[in-house]
Amino acid sequence: MPNLARKLRLTDYFTLAFGTMVGVGWLVLMDDWLTRGGPLGAALGFALGGLLLLPVGYVYGQWVQRLPDAASEAAYTAQVFPPIVSFFTGWVMLLAYFIVCPWEAVAIGKVAAYIFPSLNSFAMYSVAGQPVFLPRLLLGIAMTVFLAILNYRGIRLSATFQNWTASTVILIFLLLLGISAWRGSPTNFQPLFRAAPFVSIVLTLQIVPYFLTGFESAPKCAEEANPEFKRTGYMRAIALALLIGAGFYALTIIAVGFIAPWQNLIGRRFATAIAFEQALGARWPVRLILVMAFFGLFQCFNGNFVASSRLLFAYGRRQTIPAAFGRIHEKFQTPSIAIFGIAAATIAGLLLGDALLVPVTEVGSMASAFGWLATCVSFFLVERNLRSRALTSLGILVAALLLVMKLVPAFPGHFTQAEWLALAIWLALGASLHLRSSSSRRTSVNSASPR
């Protein structure tokens, strides 16, 4: 069997992790963030979430140095837990990555329609009261096919694309911060919180796992590292991406709250663009923001596409799902069947349209927190160094708290019936594929046995 191409460097791992985290949530869902926490509450929620996740990032950095396996969470938990536990741990984490792909495919059409309103035409059907428009659907499908081809033809092409998109996003982000500092006013920032400070921060913290999922994407591509890459580089890439990603979100919220009265943005689509347009009385900031949004879409879509396809590939290679997903293209050295699988599933999710956006955030947050918790617990059980175990204990505490906030009804913003249903469907799909694979293996063994 051919191996995956070994092409990735430190910069590639950073842009993969950063890009997997940062898409267009800061544009499409800014009004939701301000509704949850107000400008300071939401900014503190993201900043605090980034700092709290550093111990989790430490655990991933340690694990990938010891076990550079594309199966990541499934491989780590397999060291200490029964196979069925490791299977569903990785399967839930696959949901956290994959679910972003149709989210971004939907968001591409949503952002494009802001520039070209004519895209909001030819409504074919509705999902949860949200119409699905044919032009936007075709745009999402085209982007999905483009990324599938890009990844199919080699990880180097995908990494170069990721580097360019991430660099563009960071440069425009710095420019927008400068504009906000120049034209904004502290009076726009009042009141600092939407509700009580604690409630405002907690409501934001609940969605932080979804938007910061990605710092741990580097281990999914650990088998594609350049032969000269030092394994300590994983830790550097993870920590840097986590801190810069959390800082990006926090500073974007502050910039929006500083440049325009934030309460006027509640319930407004594309609140970030509206805030800059109102403050400057011109359309060029909107165009600049939308350029940044498209590059953010591309990098986030591509980063999650890479991570989810590698995790799906690792499952196929382990034969815990049909082995075809573990196939590697002989020429391009890419997991070709897994790539096509993620592309097809993305297009299927895209058919749900705008109704997908907010529920996906909630389910993705829970899935990420669960994967982080299982990874931290497994490392705690194998680690003997007291300092490492202390840091890992912090990671366990943080991940457990984030998970509890999504599952326990006592917390505001907990899972609704629709989100439980979405999770149940995903788990049922995983169980079905796992049973099918197990049945195939038993059939192969029986047919090979002497009669």
Q: What is the pLDDT of residue 314?
A: 95
Q: What CATH number corresponds to the domain at position 358?
A: 1.20.1740.10
- List per-block mean pLDDT (blocks of 10 residues) for the chain, which spans 451 residues: 88 95 87 92 94 94 94 95 93 90 87 86 85 92 96 94 95 93 90 90 85 90 94 94 95 94 88 89 85 92 95 94 93 95 92 70 80 95 94 94 81 73 86 83 56 44
Residue 1 placed within a domain? no
Rounded to the nearest 5 degrees, what angle is found at the Cα of 180, between the Cα atoms of 178 and 186? Answer: 130
Q: How far is CA 23 from CA 13, 76, 214, in A?
A: 17, 28, 11
The answer to the question of residue 4 being in a domain is: no
- Cα-based distances in Å from 184 to 174, 181, 292: 15, 6, 20
If one counts every other C-beta atom within 10 angstroms of the C-beta of residue 428, the result is 10
Query: Given this model, what pLDDT does residue 444 score?
Result: 58
As a whole number of angstroms, the distance between CA 114 and CA 398 comes to 38
Tell me, what's the pLDDT at 451?
44
Residue 350 inside a domain? The answer is: yes
Helix (H, G, I), strand (E, B) or coil at 154: coil
- Rounded Cα gap, residues 392 and 383, in angstroms: 9
Distance separating alpha carbons of residues 172 and 126, to the nearest angstrom: 35
> What span, in angstroms and rounded, lies between the C-alpha atoms of 273 and 249?
15
- pLDDT of 28 reads 81
Supply the pTM of this predicted model: 0.90
Residue 149's pLDDT is what? 96
List of residues 6+ apart from 41 with CB closer than 8 A: 192, 193, 194, 195, 197, 200, 201, 203, 204
Contact in structure between 433 and 322 (CB atoms under 8 Å): yes
Rounded distance, CA 70 to CA 308, Å? Answer: 10
Q: For 210-231, how does the pLDDT look when each residue is reduced to its tens digit (9 = 90+)? A: 788 889 999 999 999 999 999 8
Count of domains in the chain? 1
State the Cα–Cα distance between residues 250 and 41, nearest whole angstrom: 10
In a domain, 440, yes or no: no
Supply the range of the domain harboring residue 95.
10-434
- Give a yes or no: residue 445 inside a domain: no
Q: Per the domain annotation, does 323 fall within a domain?
A: yes
The pLDDT value given to residue 224: 95
Mean pLDDT over the full length of the chain: 89
Q: Is residue 443 part of a domain?
A: no
Is 222 a domain residue?
A: yes
Question: What is the spatial distance between Cα 198 and Cα 218, in angstroms, rounded to a whole number?
Answer: 33
Residues in contact with 365: Cβ distance below 8 Å, sequence separation at least 6, in sequence order: 206, 207, 208, 209, 210, 402, 406
